């Protein structure tokens, strides 16, 4: 090995040891619970001062922690200790609140939009109504332990639920609104899952970096008679939710 190559190799080794000091610090802080999920990490400048290193090495350390899935960084907000992912099971009776409560997570929602809209063709087909017929459109931001995880859209036929908006505002719960409207139970008949990158607006609502994909779940729900009840689309932060599909067992044939 030539002298200049040896010097270059030593410099690279020292640089790696330098940024790994942040990794060791992070592991010790988490192990001692001085850092817990949701806590904000020091800024790049604070890391530079604390560890006497340049921004390049700080960014390498943060990128390494992000790749391990233990740190989440958002432009303009900083870096945070990543929270555990939420397990979201999709089955015949999929309920957002119930799924979170089973994991001791506090589910809350914020209503973004509640208005009437004419049904586009695919919405009309899902609800079994004519294109252009009036629907109630509901859009909500879903939280787990006050942390945003999803943006959901819901459509209901106006003709079937003419007082949906009034009843919904009593509880701000879809399930309770349907119960109060004479629908004690409903089931999922179809779910279609895809993914895409978030828009600027979605990224802002979810506090999600633009390079983290969204999981898109389209849902078709029916009442106990099999009549179309609701069409919905949930846009979920893929680094905060894990989806599992609950398949019903096949009937036993003698």
The one-digit pLDDT tens for each residue of the chain (254 residues) are 444 443 344 444 455 567 899 999 999 998 888 988 888 999 999 999 999 899 999 999 998 988 887 888 877 778 888 877 888 888 787 777 776 767 657 889 999 999 999 999 999 999 999 999 999 999 999 998 888 999 999 999 999 999 999 999 999 999 999 999 999 999 999 999 999 999 999 999 998 888 889 999 999 999 999 999 999 999 999 988 888 887 765 454 54
Q: What is the pLDDT of residue 5?
A: 44
Same domain, 229 and 148: yes
Buried b (16+ CB within 10 A) or exposed e, 17-52: ebbebbbebbeeeeeeeebeeeeebbebeebbeebe
Q: Which of 54, 81, 108 is the last residue of a domain?
A: 81
CATH of the domain at 40: 1.10.10.10
Same domain, 68 and 119: no
**Beta-carbon-side half-sphere exposure of residue 1 (alpha carbons within 13 Å):** 8
Same domain, 114 and 148: yes
Same domain, 202 and 128: yes
Same domain, 149 and 230: yes
Q: Using an 8 Å Cβ cutoff, are 153 and 232 in contact?
A: yes
Same domain, 103 and 167: yes
Q: Which of 81, 104, 122 is the last residue of a domain?
A: 81
Query: What is the span of the domain harbouring residue 229?
Result: 86-245
Q: Which of 81, 102, 130 is the last residue of a domain?
A: 81
Buried b (16+ CB within 10 A) or exposed e, 66-89: beeebbbbbeeeebbbbbebbebe
Give dist(CA 75, CA 44) in Å, integer.
12
Handedness of CA 140, 144, 146, 148 (dihedral sign): negative
Number of domains in the chain: 2
Same domain, 22 and 104: no
* In-domain check, residue 128: yes
* In-domain check, residue 254: no
Same domain, 133 and 167: yes
Same domain, 122 and 154: yes
* In-domain check, residue 74: yes
Q: What is the pTM of this model?
A: 0.74
Same domain, 9 and 97: no
Give dist(CA 18, CA 119) in Å, integer.
59
């Amino acid at each position: 090995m030539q002298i200049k190559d040896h010097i270059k190799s030593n410099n690279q080794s020292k640089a790696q040891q330098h940024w790994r000091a942040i990794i060791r610090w992070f592991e010790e802080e988490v192990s001692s619970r001085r850092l817990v999920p949701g806590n904000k990490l020091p800024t790049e400048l604070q890391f530079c001062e604390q560890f006497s290193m340049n921004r390049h090495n700080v960014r390498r350390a943060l990128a390494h922690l992000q790749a391990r899935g233990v740190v989440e960084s958002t432009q303009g907000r900083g870096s945070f200790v990543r929270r555990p992912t939420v397990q979201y099971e999709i089955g015949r009776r999929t309920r957002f609140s119930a799924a979170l409560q089973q994991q001791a997570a506090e589910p809350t929602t914020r209503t973004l939009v509640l208005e009437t809209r004419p049904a586009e063709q695919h919405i009309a087909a899902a609800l079994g109504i004519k294109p252009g017929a009036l629907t109630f459109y509901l859009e909500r931001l879903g939280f787990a332990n006050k942390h945003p995880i999803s943006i959901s859209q819901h459509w209901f036929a106006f003709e079937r639920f003419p007082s949906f908006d009034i009843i919904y505002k009593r509880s701000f719960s879809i399930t309770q609104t349907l119960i109060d409207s004479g629908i004690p139970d409903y089931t999922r008949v179809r779910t279609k899952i895809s993914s895409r990158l978030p828009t600027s607006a979605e990224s802002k609502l979810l506090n999600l970096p633009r390079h983290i994909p969204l999981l898109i779940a389209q849902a078709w729900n029916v009442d106990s008679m099999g009549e179309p009840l609701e069409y919905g689309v949930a846009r979920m932060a893929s680094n905060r939710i894990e989806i599992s599909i609950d398949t019903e067992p096949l009937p036993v044939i003698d």
